[in-house]
Amino acid sequence: ADWVPLELCFGIPLFSSELNRKVCRKIAAHGLCRKESLQNLLHSSRKLSLQVLNFVHSFQ
């Protein structure tokens, strides 16, 4: 029988130190932890939450 994953988590890989270094370098190079990037993440997360609530509300 086929199986379907119920959850996926994407994070920093701990199983490979080389891959971990590469991921951390990319995060730093693209400024993902800058204040501006984190503010953008907060804004887009809130916007998505509101859109999901509106979607759910439309079917009640």
Higher pLDDT, 7 or 51: 51
Residue 7 located in a structural domain: no
**Is residue 3 in a domain?**
no
Return the pLDDT at 18: 92
pLDDT at 8 over 80: no
Residue 4 placed within a domain: no
Query: Considering the domain boundaries, does residue 2 fall inside one?
Result: no
Q: Looking at the 3D structure of the chain, how many domains does it have? A: 1
In a domain, 8, yes or no: no
Distance CA 44, CA 5 (A): 25
List CB contacts of 59: < 8 A, sequence separation 6 or more. none
Whole-angstrom distance, CA of residue 45 vs CA of residue 51: 10
Render pLDDT for 11-34 as a digit per residue (tens, 0 to 9): 777 888 999 899 899 999 999 999
Average pLDDT over residues 24-52: 95
47: domain range?
Answer: 17-58
Residue 12 is assigned to a structural domain of this protein: no
**pLDDT attached to residue 44:** 96
- For residue 26, the model assigns a pLDDT of 94
49 falls within a domain: yes
